[in-house]
Amino acid sequence: MTEPVADIGVVGLAVMGSNLARNLARNGNKVAIFNRSPEKTEHLVVEHPEAEFVPTFTYEEFAASLARPRTAIIMVKAGAGTDAVIDELVRVFEPGDIIVDGGNAHFPDTIRREKAVRETGINFVGAGISGGEEGALNGPSIMPGGSDEAWVTLGPILRSIAAIAEGEPCVTHIGHDGAGHFVKMVHNGIEYADMQLIAEAYDLIRRGTGKTPAQIADVFAEWNTGELESYLVEITAEVLRQNDAATGEALVDVILDEAGAKGTGAWTVQTALDLGVPASGIAEAVFARSLSSQRGQRDAAVGLPGPAPAEHEGFAHDAETFVEQVRLALYASKIVAYSQGFDIIRAGAAAYDWAIDLGAVSKIWRGGCIIRAQFLNRIADAYAAQPDLPLLLAAPYFAEALGRAQDAWREVVTVAAASGIPAPAFASSLAYYDGLRADRLPAALVQGQRDFFGAHTYRRVDRPGVFHTEWSGDRSETQES
């Protein structure tokens, strides 16, 4: 019979699970490990004797090895694999024990699972974990949901393995049931937008100035010393500097230009649509990946007319000025993407009754995760100054930055359109910004059209009430309420 010697267990020992188990062991935890195929368990024990893992080969053995309340982190393939493991753990665990799903679950699944598991008296915590395999090993950003009771036990363990940013661990109890996976989903949506904006900046600089990928790597490395400092800008420089060993060309020129996706960006946009949040920058980033993968349609469109190359290629007469304009456009568009992302979280918190501290979310994204950036300190400052901030991009720091960037931003979007260079995330972010700023929107005309064909009514600017015009009659106006 196995003794209850372990503080925590990990189920699922592929890349993420094995690295997370090692991270837990390094930070003072005695870790029980289990994997469906026993070879992975045996392999991990042999490869990492320093971790002093407690290997287990049945769920019964796994449960018996854990001190009470038992705590287990599941790191298996999201979906059916997660449900299968939860069923097994519920069978061998007892009320008060804690099951954590650290995989990339969709938040409605987490809400469903939490409800079902809670009925057994066992705690279920959906925890978003960002940072890939490197983060899992050396410190990820962790976004746990679940009950307050579970957080009492789990908090110290997760704090011990999370990344540290500005002296603080990158983990906070986000909110109940699916709140953690919801916030992780939005994190990934913002990541899509950030990556697309960086890609558009690269494309504009390359086509506008004729710089080589290696020269543009220098531009990104330089940007990474200023207000754009971030993991994604840093790795962009690395990717652009890489040469292909087989051809000697820049690696970026031999990579097929069809972007993949695992679905979290699409979930973010679908959720934003459901919540009525205009997350246009994130949506454009998801659509840009879809467009890139429509090979047949792209082939069919090759002959369609565009601006004459002679007039537009290398259009930037002053390369240095243009690069700076693109930098400002990138920064402004990035502010929009993050502002939209935080809007989704705020709307989700209201819809699902989660008490999410937006400032705390910005702080735990400062380290460990893919969107880690200097910039998140400014977001944290903005929410510290005004926790109920209605619009992040209107906070004084960002309003000033947008004011500083907007001329360049407009110029870059104009130049992109005139030159036939697709910059969907830059352009839609600017349109969103101008939409928010506008005194009057053509939504008034849309309301008129809706009333015309569907008697959907409208409100007036000059007096309260709901009105309808008799469009098919004498066109007089009636007050409906």
Ligand X SMILES: NC(=O)c1ccc[n+]([C@@H]2O[C@H](COP(=O)([O-])OP(=O)(O)OC[C@H]3O[C@@H](n4cnc5c(N)ncnc54)[C@H](OP(=O)(O)O)[C@@H]3O)[C@@H](O)[C@H]2O)c1
Binding site for ligand X (CB under 6 A): 12-17, 35-37, 40, 75-78, 80-81, 84-85, 103-104, 129, 132-133
Q: Is 475 helix (H, G, I), strand (E, B) or coil?
A: coil
Q: Is residue 404 marked as binding?
A: no
Q: Is 431 helix (H, G, I), strand (E, B) or coil?
A: helix
Shortest gap between Cβ of 58 and ligand X (angstroms)?
A: 13
Q: How far apart are CA 195 and CA 36, in angstroms?
A: 35
Shortest gap between Cβ of 181 and ligand X (angstroms)?
A: 10
Q: Are 65 and 2 in contact (CB under 8 A)?
A: yes
Q: Is residue 104 marked as binding?
A: yes
Torsion sign over Cα 375, 376, 377, 382:
positive
Q: Which of 30, 88, 184, 211 is catalytic?
A: 184
Shortest gap between Cβ of 303 and ligand X (angstroms)?
A: 40
Q: Are 280 and 344 in contact (CB under 8 A)?
A: no
Q: Which of 88, 191, 200, 284 is catalytic?
A: 191
Phi, psi of 434, deg, nearest 5: -70, -35
Shortest gap between Cβ of 125 and ligand X (angstroms)?
A: 15
Q: Is residue 16 marked as binding?
A: yes
**Residue 80: exposed, middle, or buried by beta-carbon count in 10 A (0-12, 13-18, 19+)?**
exposed
Q: Is residue 77 marked as binding?
A: yes
Shortest gap between Cβ of 29 and ligand X (angstroms)?
A: 19
Q: Toward ligand X, which CB reaches closer, 81 or 96?
A: 81
| Residue 99 β-bridge partners | 72, 124
Give the closest residue to 448 by CA, choosing from 413, 414, 477.
477
Shortest gap between Cβ of 271 and ligand X (angstroms)?
A: 18
Q: Toward ligand X, which CB reaches closer, 36 or 468?
A: 36
Q: Toward ligand X, which CB reaches closer, 170 or 323?
A: 170
Q: Is residue 323 marked as binding?
A: no
Q: Toward ligand X, which CB reaches closer, 80 or 308?
A: 80
Q: Is residue 158 marked as binding?
A: no
Q: Is 133 a catalytic residue?
A: no
**Residue in the block written with tokens 């309340």:** 69
Q: Toward ligand X, which CB reaches closer, 71 or 104?
A: 104
Say how many C-beta atoms besides its own lie within 10 A of residue 99's C-beta: 27
Q: Toward ligand X, which CB reaches closer, 60 or 133?
A: 133
Q: Are 6 and 67 in contact (CB under 8 A)?
A: yes
Q: How far apart are CA 419 and CA 421, in angstroms?
A: 6
Q: Check residue 250 and report its DSSP letter.
A: B
Q: Are 133 and 16 in contact (CB under 8 A)?
A: yes
Q: Is residue 14 marked as binding?
A: yes
Q: Say which residues have a Cβ less than 8 Å from residue 422's Cβ, sequence separation at least 6.
A: 200, 203, 288, 416
Q: How far apart are CA 53 and CA 76, in angstroms?
A: 18
Shortest gap between Cβ of 128 and ligand X (angstroms)?
A: 8
Q: Compute the half-sphere exposure of residue 66: CA atoms within 13 Å on the CB side of its CA.
A: 29
Residue type, 127: A
Q: Is 249 a catalytic residue?
A: no
Q: Say which residues have a Cβ less than 8 Å from residue 385's Cβ, sequence separation at least 6.
A: 395, 396
Q: Is residue 36 marked as binding?
A: yes
Long-range contact pairs involving 44-47 (C-beta distance under 8 Å, separation at least 24) = 44/13, 44/18
Q: Is 453 helix (H, G, I), strand (E, B) or coil?
A: helix
**Residue in the block written with tokens 């007096």:** 463
Q: Is residue 445 marked as binding?
A: no
Q: Which two tokens stand for residue 180?
A: 């953690």
Q: Toward ligand X, which CB reaches closer, 238 or 434?
A: 238
Q: Which two tokens stand for residue 264?
A: 């979290």
End-to-end CA distance of the chain: 74
Shortest gap between Cβ of 449 and ligand X (angstroms)?
A: 44
Q: Toward ligand X, which CB reaches closer, 40 or 48?
A: 40
Give the closest residue to 75 by CA, choosing from 122, 124, 16.
16
Phi-psi group of 145: left, alpha or beta (phi > 0 → left; psi -120 to 50 → alpha; rest → beta): beta
Q: Is residue 12 marked as binding?
A: yes
Q: Is residue 78 marked as binding?
A: yes
Find the residue with minimal CB distance to ligand X: 103
Residues labelled catalytic? 184, 191
Residue set of the binding site: 12-17, 35-37, 76-78, 104, 130-132, 187-188, 192, 262, 289, 450, 456
Annotated binding site for substrate: 104, 130-132, 187-188, 192, 262, 289, 450, 456
